[in-house]
Structure 1
Amino acid sequence: MKNNYITIQINGEPFNCPNNMSIYDLICYFDINSKLVLVEYNKDMIYDNQFIDILLKQNDKLEIITIVGGG
């Protein structure tokens, strides 16, 4: 039977997710505005227009930085 979940690293912490999840799905899961986030995927910066095309794989490493305004 195929395992339906994988473990990835998000900001250095393990996270279990479905094996068919894209970065876009992950951003939506965390309720983050995809236009206000920076994502490093396996040490490469990626753009928001790439989020939907990249499916997460076992042991992927993501750094997710949200951009917040202030004054």
Structure 2
Amino acid sequence: MPIIRFESNLKSEFYEAEKRWQRSLPKVPGQIGEAIVSTVEHPPAGGMLIFGVDLRFVDFLAADGFPFEVD
């Protein structure tokens, strides 16, 4: 699971991007709601938020133009 970090003032945009990504994932037969994926929030450091995210979400964020760094 890649660890990413981004400016804390972008937290709401991060969660909006996560919702859009979730909706873009293919559904499996019988699935109700969104796919189960793991996003783990770590303690912030120096004004940066740190998350462990699914690798597919990293690609989505990059394509979406969301500013982040991979640790």
TM-score by length of 2: 0.29
Tell me which protein shows more helix as a share of its residues.
Answer: 2
TM-score by length of 1: 0.29
